[in-house]
A and B are shown apart, each in its own frame.
Chain A
Amino acid sequence: DSGVTQTPKHLITATGQRVTLRCSPRSGDLSVYWYQQSLDQGLQFLIQYYNGEERAKGNILERFSAQQFPDLHSELNLSSLELGDSALYFCASSVGLAGGGTQYFGPGTRLLVL
């Protein structure tokens, strides 16, 4: 158990819908990262938050947004869902902001868009 929690574990929804994925980092970790794992793209970095502020953006679509709350949990919002958004979404956390820190991953949310 990494100490990172993600809910829900599974999510099935229809095209055009909006969903929210939730992540709680390990105790003491201030950085939260979101990654997407799909068959065609592999594991891709989406976005990073540190202590409530967005710090880095990767290959995140405009239809996707995220935030980190004062209690440090984070939410990833996916809207106008398309079939191609079906993937495993991981949240990870690390202690600091600087690169090179170990990122511990949650169990993931498996999203299926029908």
Chain B
Amino acid sequence: AQKVTQAQTEISVVEKEDVTLDCVYETRDTTYYLFWYKQPPSGELVFLIRRNSFDEQNEISGRYSWNFQKSTSSFNFTITASQVVDSAVYFCALSDPQTSGSRLTFGEGTQLTVNP
């Protein structure tokens, strides 16, 4: 069955530190998609990135980077030089169309607190 595990429930860092949020997934599909969403204190879910299972290239977007490793079924998210505005809950999600259609399966989320 499809499953997403975010083992880190809470992480607290000091501003300018780098921080990595872990995401491990399970699926039997060979074609699947992985996502990261951010949920700031205001509550909305903000899309950050989408990755398909055939594209293992790491991606960098400003201070954000993502490391996709199929061999370990992981899709980790790193924030470089963290800022207070990065404080939020971050969710990793999986879409495995063959098994689950279009629905997203979410991890439990990681609460990131960046202290000044």
Residues of chain B within 8 A (CB-CB) of A45 are: 103-105
Nearest CB in chain B: distance from A108 CB, A: 6
Q: Number of B interface residues at 8 Å Cβ cutoff, please give it.
A: 28
Contacts of A104 in B (CB 8 A): 47
- Chain B residue contacts of A33, Cβ below 8 A: 102-104
- CB contacts (< 8 Å) of A2 on chain B: these are 44, 46-47
Chain B nearest CB from A25 CB (Å) reads 14
Distance A55 CA – B101 CA, assembled complex (angstroms): 9
Distance, CA A45 to CA B93, complexed state (A): 11
Q: Is A68 part of the binding interface, using a Cβ–Cβ cutoff of 8 Å?
A: no
Which residues of chain A (24-75) have a CB below 8 Å from chain B? Answer: 31, 33, 35, 42-45, 48, 55-56, 58
Q: Knowing A42-B106, A42-B109, A43-B106, say if A99 contacts B101 (CB, 8 Å).
A: yes
Chain A residues with CB under 8 Å of B104's CB are 33, 35, 43, 45, 103
Q: Which residues of A are interface residues toward B (Cβ below 8 A)?
A: 2, 31, 33, 35, 42-45, 48, 55-56, 58, 88, 90, 92, 94, 97-108, 110
